[in-house]
Structure 1
Amino acid sequence: MAMTMSSVVRRGAAELVAPARATPYEFKPLSDIDDQEGLRFYRSGIYLYRRCAARDGVDPAAVLRAALAEALVHYYPLAGRIVEASPGRKLLVECTGEGVVFVEADAAAALEELGEVTGPPVPRHEEFLCEPDGAYVAGGVVGRPLLYFQVTRMRCGGFVWGFQICHCMADAAGVVQFLTAVSEFARGVPGAPTVRPVWARELLSARRPLPFVITRSHPEYESVPDAGRDKISPTDALVHQPFFFGRREVAALRALAPPELGARSSRFDLIAAFMWRCRANALQYDAGDVVRVQFVVNARGRGRNGNGPPLLPEGYYGNAFLFAVAESPAGELRHRPFGHALHLVVAAKARAMEEGHLQSVADLMAARGRPRFTVARTYVVSDLTWSGLPNVDVGWGRAVYGGPATATLATFHIAGRNVAGEEGVEVPMRLPAPSMERLTREVARGLAGVHAMANTGACIAARL
């Protein structure tokens, strides 16, 4: 029986946790990749930890509060506040050392009462987060705390750790780097974090002096014609459904593609192209409607020209990604083979990885007033399977779940398991109920034959 969290969670008063020791007062400009209108929001995550007998009697809230204060000595910009400069709406961090929000809470319920959590949305996530979890909060991010922590002690001896962090400060890799530092202090690892934080945001800033040079095409920041004719809106009544892709499902997708293309396509490419096609069909776009898939390409570990020494040093925790965009008339996506969608995705990724593309995005941000990326008729997806989010151990062992707290119209690829225990990729989706029913049929039709090859319960149909 599912619990009613609102009746059993008791929050204490919010407090500010400052760095454990004095930190510099200074202004630190964000990069022009950080400083996008579309990143001026708080991204959330939740960790679920079971009781650890060796830690009985230890208060996880006290441990995490102390560890957070130590981590903020090294990541002191997170304890500051964002200010907006004129002209150009440029964001800077005023490193005030004021601190981040920390809330203790207690729940008269056990973790088991949440059920098996494999992906977002985490049941009753709103009770485990300090603030309402909306994509864009009223008032934006200027002048607000940049990080919110809530630790909820559960009746079973386990606990829930929820966090919300300003996306302008860090991407998924940066968030994990910071949370890993917190976890090291929580486990008593002496000294500084294993990975030392590096600011270096100037490496991803617009070129100076003027004029800015936008050398690439960036459709992700261009309006879609007739955007109001989209088939879906965040205000619609939406249902949630996860889709699982294990070894058999991925092999089936690879077999659907032309041999050469299938062989050089990543698991992400295959699943993203497949779900883009299925989703567009489920939403029943008109044949002439141009639909898009927009996905994140990580810039870490790459040189300026795609090879050579990395542009970004180890320890860089700012946003280091760009969007790749593929588009097609919905009719072509519907009637042409799967290889058509896959080719578009692979080509879009290649374009985004070309020399100068990331710098061109930075210049575009500064030159055009930091436009928000387009979402109309667009399937937005990000790969978190590589992020290490589930691996953050604060001394209570591996989390039962560690990942996004909520699901939106944008989605993720996250590490997951099916009902048979097979590891693979889970893709949480949100759509209106009639569209979700059609999406379920589209996915099953596209993976026809997988069920026959799989053990009972191990196929995609068993996840729906």
Structure 2
Amino acid sequence: MASWIQELQFPHLNIPVRHDRFHTVEPESPIPAAHGDCLYLSNLDDMIGARVFTPTLYFFEANNQSSNRKFEPKILHEALAKVLVPYYPFSGRLRETKNGKLEVFFGPKQGALFVEASSELEMSDLGNLTVPNPAWIPLIYRYPYEEAYKVIDMPLVIAQVTRFKCGGFSLGLRLCHCLCDGLGAMQFVSAWAGTARSGSLVTDPTPCWDREFFRPRDPPKVQFRHIEFTKIDDSSSLTTTLWQTKAIQKCYRISDEFQTLIKSLAQPNDGHGCTAFDAMAAHVWRSWVTALDVKPLDYELRLTFSVNARPKLINPSLKEGFYGNVVCLACSTATVSQVINGDLPETTQLVREARKGVTEEYLRSTIDYIEVDRPQRLEFAGKLMITQWTRFGMYESADFGWGLPVYAGPIDLTPTPQVCVFLPDRNESLGRSMVLCICLSESAASRFKEHLSEVLTLNL
């Protein structure tokens, strides 16, 4: 049982990287957009939380047993140019309209940014490649004076390929979240990878834009409170602890057996059951709040998480190949006292109800809410935001012809320390284990693992 929760260590490194070449990658052949054209973005694409570049990093070994193909950056460069034809919106830029809403527009000298880089290190010098490490930041390209949440007039695909002395390489990728959610991003990556493997364009499914599917109703019809967006007075110790004292990133491998145990212990008392995500989200929330010793006890906390709303859309359903944002924020609320003193089934029921509350009508209400009252800033007061990446197929989507990556995922959560990520575990011998990444204060780190593990002592 002791191995059911394993803290993963990562070294503090200095990774010297030299940027050797910069390329603007334009679509290889004509696209259905001329200079001056623009494309509509839905309010789901244009939520304030989507105005980011999602950084992901992929590591590929030099001597992958499944491939004897020599690595050449040119292969990725040329495949990207091919993929940008059916995925042509990624070759454009974002701009604001009069009411502050974003749209994609097309002009001269646009396209994706492709950076060739190199390092004198070997991949073995980087230590454990199964766990996100903030020291990997040099492997993802950022402009020298880039600002947080800046997406206007930026390339919408930013890729950095870094070659290591051993012959292995990394692909640091930043896709603008306004154009795709996690599933959409993996659809794009899968097409790019398939094209790189074959040398000719591969798109399965055929990409579909169709953002007008999510136009707001006329007049807008906001039917829910949407507490996920509501501004709340920040009178708790939570954000002070995480933002004013330097938060640290902690990662844990969570076994399938532990997840199964938590799910069995978390079953709500109403007899309607729960999912493994409901149970783990509730348990992580309770452990995090307790470890951080949040005060005051009557302060109302929020747990938010993204729900894939694709299955909710029935009449009509989304067209196959749609890669835009179809995620809706679910939100559970409870006071600090309720979270730390309530039992796990009660907290799990709150999570389940929030998840099940994301219906097609809730999604449409979200779209209309943003149309009426477009949030201009992210609200962090009292929040933990959990993102589940375990179902994206990140490894399977990223075989560019050099085998599956040894790591695929994020790097550094500390810039937004109220985010927690559930990641797939590449170690296939461990079954359906996952990697949990979360930010804590230095003093809370050991307490968090204790609270996370304490259910094991109850079941010896």
Same fold (TM over 0.5): yes
Distance 1:370 1:226 in 2: 17
Equivalent residues in 2 for 1:87-126, closer than 5 Å: 88-96=99-107, 98-121=110-133, 124-126=135-137
Task: Classify 1:270/1:261 alpha carbon distance in 2 versus 1 (closer, same or farther; 3 Å).
Answer: farther
Deviation at 1:332, TM superposition (A): 1.6
Q: Which residue of 2 aligns with 1:336?
A: 342
Q: Secondary structure at the match of 1:73?
A: coil
Deviation at 1:412, TM superposition (A): 1.2
Task: Classify 1:448/1:345 alpha carbon distance in 2 versus 1 (closer, same or farther; 3 Å).
Answer: same
Equivalent residues in 2 for 1:285-324, closer than 5 Å: 285=294, 286-303=296-313, 308=314, 311-324=317-330
Task: Classify 1:407/1:120 alpha carbon distance in 2 versus 1 (closer, same or farther; 3 Å).
Answer: farther
Distance 1:339 1:365 in 2: 33
- Structure 1 stretch 371-380 or stretch 21-30: which is displaced more? 371-380
Deviation at 1:138, TM superposition (A): 4.6
Deviation at 1:369, TM superposition (A): 2.4
Provide TM-score, normalisation by structure 2.
0.89
Which residue among 385, 389, 403 is the counterpart of 2:394?
Answer: 389
Q: Which residue of 1 aligns with 2:177?
A: 167
**Contact 2:255–2:430 at 8 Å: present in 1 too?**
no
Distance 2:420 2:118 in 1: 30
Deviation at 1:347, TM superposition (A): 0.7
Task: Classify 1:118/1:55 alpha carbon distance in 2 versus 1 (closer, same or farther; 3 Å).
Answer: closer
Q: Does 1:437 align with 2:449?
A: no
- Structure 1 stretch 199-208 or stretch 340-349: which is displaced more? 199-208
1:413-442, Cα deviation, whole Å (9 max, x unpaired): 111268984541211111111111221221
Q: Secondary structure at the match of 2:85?
A: helix
Distance 1:310 1:118 in 2: 41
Q: Which residue of 2 aligns with 1:273?
A: 282
| Amino acid paired to 1:268 | F
**Contact 2:217–2:368 at 8 Å: present in 1 too?**
yes
Q: Secondary structure at the match of 2:303?
A: strand
| Amino acid paired to 1:100 | A
Q: Does 1:226 align with 2:234?
A: yes
**Contact 2:233–2:381 at 8 Å: present in 1 too?**
no
Q: Which residue of 2 aligns with 1:35?
A: 46
Equivalent residues in 2 for 1:182-193, closer than 5 Å: 182-188=192-198, 190-193=200-203
Deviation at 1:72, TM superposition (A): 0.4
**Contact 1:300–1:310 at 8 Å: present in 2 too?**
no
Q: Which residue of 2 aligns with 1:240?
A: 249
Q: Which residue of 2 aligns with 1:204?
A: 214
Q: Does 1:21 align with 2:26?
A: no
Q: Which residue of 2 aligns with 1:378?
A: 383
Deviation at 1:242, TM superposition (A): 1.3
Distance 1:72 1:11 in 2: 23
Distance 2:271 2:402 in 1: 41
Distance 2:271 2:193 in 1: 39
| Amino acid paired to 1:436 | A
Which residue among 66, 84, 99 is the counterpart of 1:72?
Answer: 84
Deviation at 1:142, TM superposition (A): 1.0
Q: Which residue of 1 aligns with 2:93?
A: 81
**Contact 2:304–2:385 at 8 Å: present in 1 too?**
yes
**Contact 1:22–1:73 at 8 Å: present in 2 too?**
yes
Q: Secondary structure at the match of 1:68?
A: helix
Q: Secondary structure at the match of 2:285?
A: helix
**Contact 1:45–1:405 at 8 Å: present in 2 too?**
yes
1:220-272, Cα deviation, whole Å (9 max, x unpaired): 11012335653434453122211232222122212323476687311111110
**Contact 1:33–1:205 at 8 Å: present in 2 too?**
no
Deviation at 1:373, TM superposition (A): 4.5
Which residue among 349, 354, 359 is the counterpart of 1:348?
Answer: 354
**Contact 1:254–1:262 at 8 Å: present in 2 too?**
no
Q: Which residue of 1 aligns with 2:5?
A: none
Distance 1:63 1:194 in 2: 20
- Structure 1 stretch 88-97 or stretch 229-238: which is displaced more? 229-238
Q: Secondary structure at the match of 2:84?
A: helix
Q: Which residue of 1 aligns with 2:262?
A: 253
Provide TM-score, normalisation by structure 1.
0.88
1:341-380, Cα deviation, whole Å (9 max, x unpaired): 101000111112x241111111111111234442211110
Deviation at 1:302, TM superposition (A): 2.7
Q: Secondary structure at the match of 1:437?
A: helix
Q: What number of residue pairs does the alignment pair up?
A: 440
| Amino acid paired to 2:356 | A
| Amino acid paired to 2:282 | A
Task: Classify 1:29/1:234 alpha carbon distance in 2 versus 1 (closer, same or farther; 3 Å).
Answer: farther
User: Matched residues, percent identical?
Assistant: 27
Distance 2:207 2:144 in 1: 27
Distance 2:181 2:188 in 1: 11
1:121-142, Cα deviation, whole Å (9 max, x unpaired): 3x532221111799x9357211
Q: Does 1:195 align with 2:213?
A: no
**Contact 1:2–1:113 at 8 Å: present in 2 too?**
no
**Contact 1:76–1:95 at 8 Å: present in 2 too?**
no
Task: Classify 1:256/1:188 alpha carbon distance in 2 versus 1 (closer, same or farther; 3 Å).
Answer: same
Q: Secondary structure at the match of 2:357?
A: helix
**Contact 2:21–2:115 at 8 Å: present in 1 too?**
yes
Task: Classify 1:131/1:262 alpha carbon distance in 2 versus 1 (closer, same or farther; 3 Å).
Answer: farther
Which residue among 119, 134, 155 is the counterpart of 1:145?
Answer: 155
| Amino acid paired to 2:111 | G
Q: Secondary structure at the match of 2:224?
A: coil
Distance 2:259 2:71 in 1: 43
Q: Secondary structure at the match of 2:401?
A: coil
Structure 1, unpaired ranges of 5+: 453-464
Q: Secondary structure at the match of 2:289?
A: helix
Deviation at 1:10, TM superposition (A): 1.6
Distance 2:149 2:378 in 1: 19
Distance 1:193 1:418 in 2: 29
